[in-house]
Amino acid sequence: MPTIVYVDDSRDDLFYLDYTRKKQQIEVDLFCFSTAETALEALKQRVAEGWAPPELLVADLYMPLDSGIGLISTLRGDDRFSAMRLAICSGSDADEDRARAFAAGADFYLEKPLDLAAIVLNLEV
């Protein structure tokens, strides 16, 4: 079963994704965080305890304290997370936002609302 970390300052978006997981009975371990800092600390702790990094981390592009871009850049620069796939999500479909996400090291750019079933399907490919 794949593991996904979702980071978004919107409690509604966090709730929606977990609700979707339960309602559609999607087989995934989903960990939700409301700040990039808490997600990063949890990832470091997970690896320190000998767990493999999650298959995917999805971070919101626009968060008040630290953008998803900053988190993606930090993870890309850390060898412990080199195998993890990284995605930026946003309600924006602007080309500039996509370009910034990919320049920071994101593998994917996802538009909200997130389609968890499609995300998990893409992880299996």
Please report, in tens digits, the pLDDT of each residue of the chain (125 residues total). Answer: 999 999 999 999 999 999 999 999 999 999 999 999 999 999 999 999 999 999 999 999 998 777 899 999 999 999 999 999 999 999 998 999 999 999 999 999 999 999 999 999 988 86
pLDDT the model gives residue 66 = 74
pLDDT the model gives residue 124 = 80
Assess contact for 121 and 4: CB atoms under 8 A.
no
Give this prediction's pTM: 0.95
Separation CA 40–CA 100 (nearest Å): 20
Where on the phi/psi map is residue 29: left (φ > 0), alpha (ψ -120 to 50), or beta?
Answer: beta
pLDDT the model gives residue 19 = 97
Assess contact for 97 and 61: CB atoms under 8 A.
yes
Angle between helix axes 36-48 and 68-76 (nearest 10 degrees) is: 30
